[in-house]
Structure 1
Amino acid sequence: LSSRSPSNFGNSHLADGVAKIKEYLEEQKNTPLKIAITGESGTGKSTFINAFRKVNDSDEGAAPTGVVETTTEVKEYPHPNLPNVTLWDLPGVGTPNFPADEYLKKVKFERFDFFIIISACRFKENDVKLALEIKRMKKKFYFLRSKVDFDLANEERKKKIDKQKTLNAIRENCIEVLRHQGIKDPQVFLVSCVELHLFDFLLLQETLERELPAHKRNAFVSALPNISEEIIKKKKDTYQAQIKYHALLCSGVAAVPIPGVSTAIDIAWVVTVVKEYVNGFRLDEKSLKSLADSSDVPYSELLSVMTSQLGAKTITPELILNLLSQFAMGSAAVMLCSGVGGVRDARFWCLGVAPSHETERSALLGGWAPRACCCWHRWGNTF
């Protein structure tokens, strides 16, 4: 934890401690993360922005896609569940309104945390000039070579290929071009903007997480699309690290009693936190219906394999109290209280969104279901 974390607040008065914990959690929740996406038209910028946010191209608020230049100005696209995380679609370098020598000034580069430079073939002179200028301004940039899935499909039509050798050849070619133009030790990530789970996106995710400042990492991890078990586990770990602070806060002046439990909680606070977790795992009704539409898996089938009791539900005080009462009456609550370190912590764990193993398994719906209907039953049997 950073020096701003509650563990370093000392032995101040309880009320001051609670206020500082609340301030810390609000800072964590509202830390801005601004990601700039740039590249020529037709490289898949808009598709990448939509896929990262788990937004379909036809959804309201989606970045417009097309082979012609659709980006004529800097455009902001907020994450649907985390408005503090925004992806920015930037016009290509050297377009009439954004000449190369004025580009960074015109896009107001200082507001962005890092830049992603996308190319669908070879990185060109303007891409390199931009990267070198970003570096001079002491900002981070990352090269993404998009549409790799199309390249593989085209090669396979001609002959039988070794996919890994082909991918390595594409990567090495990009690296050689960048080196030749003055980029020292370039790293190129191969991606499919449509199928983010393929190729190098997870490597990109790990690199960004490692290189981002500590106070930005939680925002980045929370915003990641649920396309792998690793990402879902990282989200679970991020949420779990905050449980003890939420548990302290929910025993405040607005506390209400729970049948079967000797103490009370601030139910409104719990509802807020549970909604954040459900949305973060994309187990809310809107996200699940969007998943059903994009994967051609019936919504009812998604619900049938979901194990979390809070998925696809309207999170209300009544629902939370009912679940807490059920768990508090059973022996599981007693075991959790002794194992987690207190009744307050245990209440969150009992809900199954704090986040439990069951919630993690349910969240896998957001990662695996879209791959193909033929794969659905194979993974569905493991839930």
Structure 2
Amino acid sequence: YWMFEETIKITDNSSDVAAARIREYLESKNNVLLNIAITGESGSGKSSFLNAFRDVEDDSEDAAPTGVKETTLEVKEYPHPNYPNIIFSDLPGIGTTKFPAKKYLKRVGFKKFDFFIIISADRFRENDAKLAKEIKKTGKNFYFVRSKVDHNLRDEQRKKDFSQEKTLAQIRDDCVKSLKDQGVESPQVFLVSSHDIHLYDFPHLRETLERDLPEHKRDVLLLSSPSIFPDIIEKKKKVFRRQIWGLTALSGVVAAVPVPGLSVGVDLALLVGAVTRYVTGFGLNVASLKRTASRTGIPYDELKAVLTSQLAAEHITHDLIMKVVLQVSSRAALMAAEEAFRFIPIVGIPASMALSAVTTYKFLKLFLDLLAEDAHRVSDKVLNKNK
């Protein structure tokens, strides 16, 4: 427990102080900054893509404006609604008088960006290729995204010999050829629809971005990804499961404070913080479920109806956690044993620490499993809506 003793030193006899320290610890794990740059010509679908990646509707208050003539003359930042430390930056178009290709990166402040996404609704043009070459010089990663492929497929469906696979291959080949002709080496192009993020190359793009990021930023991008993909849900679950060990050790350290009732209060504060992260990460909070309903066309009530945990679609409070905890009879016995062990000379505090760690681990794992199962139920509802 020594590393956590340095993180949280509780010398006050107040459970409020202990709870505040724990919240600080939990929040520190969510403060890794990720800044994503998105650029493209007017009409490329840049704003719709940005909104889809942030899991917000185009007509929501905090969405990037769509369907209007681009007038962006400076970098505009759009934080993720659940993770404000993830910032999507809408960059001005390249090649204008104010933003010529050679000076573009310097003027938009390229150093702060983790990677760049270059979007086009048709073939990538000379300025797109110039920008890619300039980004490459900085050592940062860039990705070509061909948007609105759903529009192309809809137009091609009128032909008698229509083949979705053939049409997508043709779009990809045309984009790659255009970039190669302009001197871009081995370009990779992702075909996406901002209205159907589970189709085409959107999942592959997400996996590629995740793989290319440094490890400490990989989890940040993962947790912000929409939880409509079963593999994403399982990856998120693994991230949260790894964090349980740290929280368990933290609970054990706090349990060493010999003040009756303090350990119980601190355990609840820890559980509230962790479960809130699970609910948000799996997209099971009310705001996220409503965004999913709006984006998919599935009524919110239908999505909520598939949930089985009392923790999903609720504001996580001490009372709610205690209500769920008390439904498991063994927990009350362990809490009582912890308080009793606390005042047994010599052996008492180590035993209390062990019991606190065991109970914390038990309930964090239980809550995580329940919420992951609910996330899978929502995913099944979304992915099978047209079947």
TM over 0.5: yes
Q: Which residue of 2 aligns with 1:106?
A: 107
- Give the stretch that moved more between structures: 287-296 or 106-115: 287-296
Q: Is the counterpart of residue 167 in structure 1 residue 168 in structure 2?
A: yes
Q: State the partner residue of 2:346.
A: none
Q: CA deviation at 1:295?
A: 3.2
Percent identity of paired positions between Structure 1 and Structure 2: 47
When structure 1 is superposed on structure 2, of 172-181 and 124-133 the one drifting more is 172-181
Q: Check conservation: 2:35, 2:89, Cα contact below 8 A.
A: yes
What is the CA distance between 1:291 and its match in structure 2?
A: 2.6
Q: Give 1:348's aligned residue.
A: 364
Matching residue's letter, 1:88 = S
Q: Using a 3 Å threshold, how does the CA distance of structure 1 residues 17 and 65 change in structure 2: closer, same or farther?
A: closer
Judge conservation of contact 1:291–1:366 (CA < 8 Å) in 2.
no
In structure 2, the partner of 1:43 is: 44
Displacement of 1:325 = 1.6
Q: Provide structure 1 residue ranges, at least 5 long, that are not aligned to the other structure.
A: 1-10, 334-340, 376-383
CA RMSD of aligned residues (A): 2.8
Check 1:117–1:153 CA distance in 2 against 1; reply closer, same or farther (3 A cut). same
* Superposition misfits of 4+ residues, deviation over 6 angstroms: 21-24
- The answer to whether the 8 A contact 1:250-1:267 is kept is no
Aligned to 2:225: 224
Q: What residue ranges of structure 2 are gaps of 5+ in the alignment?
A: 10-20, 335-356
Query: Comparing 292-301 with 209-218, which one deviates more in the overlay?
Result: 292-301
CA contact (8 A) 2:7 2:25 kept: no
Instruction: For residue 328 of structure 1, report the CA deviation from its aligned partner.
Output: 4.1
Offset, 1:80: 0.5
For the residue of structure 2 that corresponds to 1:250, the secondary structure is helix
Q: What TM-score do the two structures reach when normalised by structure 1?
A: 0.83
Q: Which residue of 2 aligns with 1:115?
A: 116
Contact 2:307-2:378 at 8 Å conserved across structures = no
- For the residues of structure 2 that align with 1:168 and 1:306, how far apart are their CA atoms? 39
Q: Which has the higher contact order (CA 8 A, sep 6+)?
A: 2
Q: Distance in 1 between matches of 2:309 and 2:247?
A: 20
Report the alpha carbon displacement of residue 36 of structure 1 after superposing the two structures with TM: 0.2
The structure with the largest alpha-carbon Rg is 2
SS at match of 1:31: coil
The farther-off stretch of 74-83 and 301-310 is 301-310
What is the total number of aligned residue pairs between the two structures?
A: 350
Quote how far apart the aligned CAs of 1:360 are: 2.1
**What letter corresponds to residue 364 of structure 2 in structure 1?**
F
Relative to the length of structure 2, the TM-score reads 0.82
Q: Report the AA paired with residue 207 of structure 1.
A: T
Contact 1:115 / 1:141 at 8 angstroms: preserved in 2? Answer: yes
Q: Is the 8 A contact 1:295 1:372 kept in 2?
A: no
Q: Which residue of 2 aligns with 1:326?
A: 327
Distance 1:226 1:275 in 2: 16
1:306-334 per-residue CA deviation (whole Å, 9 max, x = no partner) reads 12221111211011111112124389x9x
